[in-house]
Amino acid sequence: MSRIGKRPVELPSGVTATVSGQTIEVKGPKGTRTFNATDDVTLKVEDNVVKVEPRGKSKRARQQWGMSRTMVQNCVTGVTEGFKKELEIQGVGYRAQMQGNTLKLNLGYSHDVDFEVPAGVTVTAPKVTQVIVEGADAQVVGQVAANIREWRAPEPYKGKGIRYLGEYIFRKEGKKK
């Protein structure tokens, strides 16, 4: 028995879910999210609760059971609260600012890095050393944050670079005489 899969997904007020075949569509105040489940599980909506059940006792059905329930929960969370990743920039002269739909990053290169923000994601830079990525889709928010971080990942000697808020960077000792 999947501990995650057997728990129902509660729909808060203002959120509706409709199932058609293997597709569930969740509508809420922050937009609409859809999820296509595999044929190994069944989706049911009853009394503001979404239930996911396996269609057999095979290993794949049990794997898809918990994953499908989590994906439905992510859809509900995305249309109600949304997802958020915070990045902080450390380094002398390293800074970020928004210009329209482009994030301009000064990261010690000979040129500025222009990062085009994809649709469905909101990027803000409240301070020059802070970047906030928000959106309804957890996968897209995480991927955009990872793409921004990729431009200058934190290095282990001085800790300079773009890191997630609260991320621990293992520091190395420099050269000795």
As given in the structure block, the two tokens for residue 110 are 């000979």
**Domain span holding position 73:** 9-80
Assigned domain for 2 exists = no
Quote the DSSP letter at residue 151: T
Within this chain, do residues 89 and 67 fall inside the same structural domain, yes or no? no
pLDDT tens-digit map of 102-121: 999 999 999 999 999 999 89
Domain boundary among 45, 80, 115: 80
pTM of the model: 0.87
pLDDT tens-digit map of 1-35: 678 888 999 999 999 999 998 999 999 998 899 99
Assigned domain for 74 exists = yes
Within this chain, do residues 93 and 141 fall inside the same structural domain, yes or no? yes
Within this chain, do residues 64 and 96 fall inside the same structural domain, yes or no? no
Within this chain, do residues 97 and 153 fall inside the same structural domain, yes or no? yes
**CATH number of the domain that residue 155 is part of:** 3.90.930.12
Q: Which strands sit side by side in the sheet containing 41-46, from one edge to the other?
A: 9-10, 49-54, 41-46
As given in the structure block, the two tokens for residue 36 are 């296509």
As given in the structure block, the two tokens for residue 15 are 């959120």
Assigned domain for 172 exists = no
Strand ranges in 62-120 using DSSP code E only, listed in sequence order: 83-90, 95-99, 102-106, 113-116
Within this chain, do residues 140 and 90 fall inside the same structural domain, yes or no? yes
Reference 123, options 148, 93, 160, 159; nearest CA is: 148
Within this chain, do residues 101 and 138 fall inside the same structural domain, yes or no? yes
d(CA 105, CA 167): 20
d(CA 163, CA 154): 6
Assigned domain for 48 exists = yes
Within this chain, do residues 87 and 145 fall inside the same structural domain, yes or no? yes
The structural domain count of the chain equals 2
pLDDT tens-digit map of 119-174: 989 999 999 999 999 999 999 999 999 999 999 999 999 999 999 999 999 999 98
Assigned domain for 174 exists = no
